[in-house]
Amino acid sequence: MKLPENLIQKLENRKQNNSLRQLPSFNNLVDFSSNDYIGFSKSETVFKLAHHYLIENEIIQNGATGSRLISGNHSLYQITETFIAQFHEAESALIFNSGYDANVGFFSAVPQRNDVILYDELSHASIRDGIVMSNAKSYKFNHNDFEDLERLILKFPDTNIYIVTETVFSMDGDSPNLEELVQLSEKYNCYLVVDEAHTLGVFGEKGEGLTQYLQLHNRIFARIMTFGKGLGCHGAAILGSLELKEYLVNFARSFIYTTGLSPHSVSTILTAYQQLEIEKETIEKLRKNIVFFNQQKNLLGLKPMFVRSKSSIQSAIIPGNENAKQLAQQLQDKGFDVKPILSPTVPEGQERLRFCIHSYNSEEEINQVLELLGNFVF
């Protein structure tokens, strides 16, 4: 059966705008595109230890069998959530099936009808989708602009206000001034919620994330940790008070009405967290590569192209979908997997090449890909 005509037209519009999304093929290019920042997704150690844990504890089960509130709350969940909470110095952790599920579950359930959500304009789609499902009123503030945020806060006295941001933004790789943001939220008794998807495994001595590294974590209402990036596996957790965990178990629909993760998935999460405490050299190597990338782009005169970032995400602005796609293809033809980020994923005119830095990238690879970028652009 054919698609309805209006849907066909939407696809045609994407093709005409050179923004049609397609699933990429697997390649063996040098990785500058994945979120596998410290290589855990390819770690033979994590793979074998997770499997060994299941065998050793006689957990021979392929699936969760149901939602966690029915039959899917196998014993590994409590063990893993306790470990995660202790690792992050939080009262509690509640595992969700993905970062998307965690954000949708939180924002659709926690802010109430008479509450207000103030969110950074560059917040991830999963945050914005959850906000759309909320009964609270929502307003965006200019990116990392706390004067604009305070202006909005003052419009809603005597109101529960949720402030939402990310510790590293997925498309720009930049960070807000978290100390200033925490102080602002405390000044007006707001509830601060941060998504740490791109800081877990990256910031801190053991990759604990940016708020914990800055010792601000105990002043934040909720932290959302996603495992599909730095941990190289699947799932997410919301960190907060015991009361928040109890509330989410009762009201977060993306938690309640879905089959739980398999024991193997949860075992992998637990093992990856345990490895974070061991693999400090790997995390340090990632930090050194980020510094080296920034140094080299400055030496090669490429700094003006890039969004300022000290994270593992480095974005070079290449306006125009066709320009960004062509430049990415040129780098791929030379053996480097660099992906273009096109509008409408980013605003028109803000199309870009997004470089993801990893612990396993060599300095030679970093230097080569930046030299190629400079040759192609200039």
Q: 124-161: per-residue pLDDT in tens?
A: 999 999 999 999 999 999 999 999 999 999 999 999 99
pLDDT at position 232 is 97
Amino acid, res. 52? H
Residue 192, SS3 per DSSP: strand
d(CA 252, CA 289): 39
C-alpha 188 chain-centroid distance: 27
pLDDT (average), residues 312-327: 96
Residue 247 has pLDDT above 90, yes or no: yes
d(CA 70, CA 67): 5
* Segment 82-131, tens digit of pLDDT: 999 999 999 999 999 999 999 999 999 999 999 999 999 999 999 999 99
Confidence bin at 313 (pLDDT 50/70/90)? very high
* Segment 180-203, tens digit of pLDDT: 999 999 999 999 999 999 999 999
Q: Compute the mean pLDDT over every residue in the chain, rounded to the nearest whole number.
A: 96
pLDDT at position 336 is 97
pLDDT at position 314 is 97
Output phi, psi for 25, to 5 deg.
-85, 155
With beta carbons less than 8 A apart as the criterion, state whether 9 and 17 touch.
no
| Neighbouring residues of 257: CB distance < 8 A, sequence distance ≥ 6 | 67
pLDDT at position 78 is 97
Residue 352 has pLDDT above 90, yes or no: yes
pLDDT at position 19 is 84
C-alpha 251 chain-centroid distance: 23
Residue 18 has pLDDT above 90, yes or no: no
pLDDT at position 351 is 96
With beta carbons less than 8 A apart as the criterion, state whether 193 and 164 touch.
yes
Confidence bin at 295 (pLDDT 50/70/90)? very high
Residue 17 has pLDDT above 90, yes or no: no
Pairing of strands 116-120, 222-226: unpaired
- Kindly report the pTM of this predicted structure: 0.95
pLDDT (average), residues 306-335: 96
Residue 378 has pLDDT above 90, yes or no: no
pLDDT at position 26 is 82
Residue 315 has pLDDT above 90, yes or no: yes
d(CA 166, CA 196): 6
Residue 285 C-beta-side C-alpha neighbours within 13 Å: 13
Percentage of residues in the chain having pLDDT higher than 70: 100
* Segment 49-83, tens digit of pLDDT: 999 999 999 999 999 999 999 999 999 999 999 99
Contacts 24+ apart (CB under 8 A), 181-189: 181/146, 181/149, 182/216, 182/219, 182/220, 184/146, 184/149, 184/150, 184/153, 185/219, 186/219, 188/150, 188/153, 188/161
pLDDT at position 322 is 94
Confidence bin at 261 (pLDDT 50/70/90)? very high
Percentage of residues in the chain having pLDDT higher than 90: 95
